[in-house]
Amino acid sequence: MSKPADFVVANASGADVRTDLNNLFDAISINNGFGSVPTTKYKYMWYADTSSGKMSFYKANASDKLDFISLTDGSFFGPNGSASNPSYTFTNSTSTGLYRSASNEIGVSNGGTNTALFKSTGTDIKGVLTVAPPSGEAYIQVQTNSINNEDAYIDFVADTTYTDYGLRLLRGSTGANTISQLVHRGTGALELIALDGGEIQFKLGVDSNSTLLTRWRYTNVGAYIWNGHNETNVTGGFHQTLNQSGVILPKGLASKRGANHATLTSGNMYNFYWTGTALKLWIDESDEGQVSILTSDYRIKKNITTQTALGIDKIKLLRPVNYEYTDYGVFKGDGDGVAREGFVAHEVAEVIPSAVNDEKDGDAIQTLNIDAIVSVLTKALQEAVAKIETLETKVAALEAG
């Protein structure tokens, strides 16, 4: 059999007609796969192009040829197409499908608009990405090859200055104990927002039941609270054996005593605690006594009366002393040998109780309220002045006589 010149059966003898028909049927059976372009082409004629290895057909103009399938492995081919006219589309939506947007790129078109680009370097989503599985957890995982030692991160870009990233959420590349970072660029604020009144919490370490421990939290009224946990076997973070908590409010500090830990600081920790009537100073876990606040406004006082007890009698009972500091408690190292003048607190308390804070040999270091002592001294001085004035009057009368 030979390649026919066309698909027209010539008017000839029976044998020639038979040969002509056999050639035509052979051409049809092999889709004109003779290795060269047919001499006469017909619209929509199939053509097995053995030179290119592709199955083709001629368009309606019987001149242009479209390749669409591999003669070797059956792979499909199509035109590049575009977003408005995708190459691979659907019967009821010819503007939705796939097309070749550029070299090594596959474009996804929905309604004639590009919505995604799949490239050799990554994927571009032209719209909202929603992860909504029919069941189970919904998550996005960003993972690098374990042998590459590369960071894994998500970048957010919303301006023309920081075109690489303005905000980055990063996981480091140095193994199981690597760093994690939230990196914010620019001079604008980095805001953590709990829009509907929820707390913002910071969790650090786990307890003996492997429960995450909330160490710090911001409440919906703006209070900054730290939580102490009565745990001695906490994994991660600091170990705190005293169950002590505190809170910083927008209007000030309200806390319980602090606790030092060697791994946190080499110095002493300090804290202030308002009892409701007095301000106490704590160094580590020791109550160092009351902080004197010399307020004297009449608006914070009631039942005001003039002192009637003799101030001179009280002053006579006070014992002024010389002393040096010892190396006691947090005052260790203060034994400097310097001679000082003053009083012994518990001795003063026996004479002027309101002049001394806390109890002798108690948990707190006793301190003095100097204003109470000054008040008694003033009363004693007034009594002495009155006596002096009386004596001066008597002396003047004697001199006149």
- Residue-wise pLDDT tens digits, 105-133: 999 999 999 999 999 999 999 989 999 99
Paired tokens of 238 = 């600091």
Q: How far apart are CA 262 and CA 260, in angstroms?
A: 7
Q: Are residues 54 and 101 in the same domain?
A: no
Classify residue 273: in a domain, yes or no: no
Q: How far apart are CA 256 and CA 202, in angstroms?
A: 20
Classify residue 378: in a domain, yes or no: yes
Is residue 349's pLDDT more than 50? yes
Is residue 316's pLDDT more than 70? yes
pLDDT tens digit sequence for 358-385: 899 988 889 898 999 999 999 999 999 9
Q: Which of 140, 158, 184 is the last residue of a domain?
A: 184
Closest CA to 355 of 310, 308, 315: 315
pLDDT tens digit sequence for 302-313: 898 999 999 999
Provide the number of structural domains found in the chain: 3
Mean local confidence (pLDDT), 81-98: 94
Q: Are residues 307 and 334 in the same domain?
A: yes
State the CATH number of the domain containing residue 331. Answer: 1.10.10
Q: Are residues 333 and 379 in the same domain?
A: yes
Q: What is the pLDDT confidence band of residue 322, given thresholds at 50, 70 and 90? A: very high
Classify residue 205: in a domain, yes or no: no
* Angle CA 146–131–120, to nearest 5: 50
The Cβ of residue 311 has, within 10 Å, a number of other Cβ atoms equal to 19
pLDDT for position 223: 81
Sequence-ordered list of residues with C-beta below 8 angstroms from that of 122, at least 6 positions apart, any chain: none
Paired tokens of 256 = 């319980």
Q: Are residues 55 and 94 in the same domain?
A: no
pLDDT for position 145: 80
pLDDT tens digit sequence for 27-53: 999 999 998 888 899 999 999 999 899
pLDDT for position 287: 79
- For residue 272, give Cα distances in angstroms to 248, 329, 335, 347, 369: 12, 18, 25, 27, 18
Classify residue 62: in a domain, yes or no: yes
Q: Are residues 96 and 166 in the same domain?
A: yes
Is residue 68's pLDDT more than 50? yes
Question: For residue 380, what are the domain limits?
Answer: 296-401
pLDDT for position 249: 67
Tokens 């160092």 label which residue? 288
pLDDT for position 228: 63
Q: Are residues 40 and 94 in the same domain?
A: no
Question: Which one-letter amino acid corresponds to residue 330?
Answer: V
pLDDT for position 71: 94
Mean local confidence (pLDDT), 161-181: 93
pLDDT for position 260: 47
Q: Are residues 53 and 109 in the same domain?
A: no
pLDDT for position 393: 93
pLDDT for position 395: 93
Classify residue 56: in a domain, yes or no: yes
pLDDT for position 254: 58
Q: Which helix (H) or strand (E) holds 317?
A: helix 311-317
User: In a 10 Å sphere around its CB, with 0-12 CB exposed, 13-18 middle and 19+ buried, how is residue 99 labelled?
Assistant: buried
Classify residue 336: in a domain, yes or no: yes
Q: Are residues 65 and 105 in the same domain?
A: no
Q: Are residues 51 and 97 in the same domain?
A: no
pTM score of the predicted model: 0.59
Paired tokens of 303 = 């039942």
Q: Are residues 309 and 397 in the same domain?
A: yes
Classify residue 225: in a domain, yes or no: no
Q: What is the pLDDT confidence band of residue 64, given thresholds at 50, 70 and 90? A: very high
- For residue 53, give Cα distances in angstroms to 26, 115, 294: 19, 33, 101
Classify residue 191: in a domain, yes or no: no
pLDDT for position 301: 84
Q: How far apart are CA 278 and CA 295, in angstroms?
A: 12
Contact (CB, 8 A) for 216 and 195: no
pLDDT tens digit sequence for 241-286: 444 566 776 666 555 555 544 444 445 667 787 777 778 887 777 7
113, β-bridge pairs: 110
Q: Which of 161, 184, 207 is the last residue of a domain?
A: 184
Q: Are residues 393 and 301 in the same domain?
A: yes
pLDDT for position 204: 85
Q: Which of 184, 200, 221 is the last residue of a domain?
A: 184
Q: How far apart are CA 81 and CA 100, in angstroms?
A: 6
E strands present in 65-150: 65-70, 88-90, 93-102, 105-110, 113-119, 122-125
Which one is predicted more confidently, 355 or 227?
355
Closest CA to 278 of 262, 263, 294, 264: 294
DSSP string covering 188-241, please? Answer: S------TTS--EEEEEEE-TT-PEEEEEEE-TTS-EEE-----SS-BSS----
Highest mean predicted confidence (pLDDT) among 63-77, 198-212, 292-306: 63-77
Q: Are residues 373 and 309 in the same domain?
A: yes
Closest CA to 34 of 81, 77, 83, 1: 1
Q: How far apart are CA 130 and CA 110, in angstroms?
A: 16
Q: What is the pLDDT confidence band of residue 297, given thresholds at 50, 70 and 90? A: confident
